[in-house]
Amino acid sequence: MAARCPLPSCRLKREIEIHSQLVHKHVARLYGAFLDDSQRVVLVQEFAARGDLFHVMQRLGGRMPPEHVAELVMRPFLEALSYLHSRGIC
């Protein structure tokens, strides 16, 4: 892994480079990144058809049974984390 970048713009560029190379079922794909007319960074990511965790929790009434947390949250999170670690990330 390359040396740490001291400047925020350098760190952001490195994060984009790393993210664009990740391919895992529990990591949203990064298809591209660019600066808009106002010089804001725009990330083009995979669409999450099932939504985010907050909206899943809302649909379930604000609470999840432990077995749902284990299967729908913790297992995918830990699989993604293991993948990142295997790539020398985190």
Tens digits of residue pLDDT in 8-32: 889 999 999 999 999 999 999 999 9
HEC profile for the chain? CCCCCCCHHHHHHHHHHHHHCCCECCECCEEEEEECCCCCEEEEECCCCCCCHHHHHHHCCCCCCHHHHHHHHHHHHHHHHHHHHHCCCC
- Dump pLDDT digits (tens) for 36-80: 999 999 999 999 888 888 888 888 888 888 998 999 899 999 999
**Residue-level pLDDT at 23:** 97
User: 39 in the Ramachandran plot: left (φ > 0), alpha (ψ -120 to 50) or beta?
Assistant: left
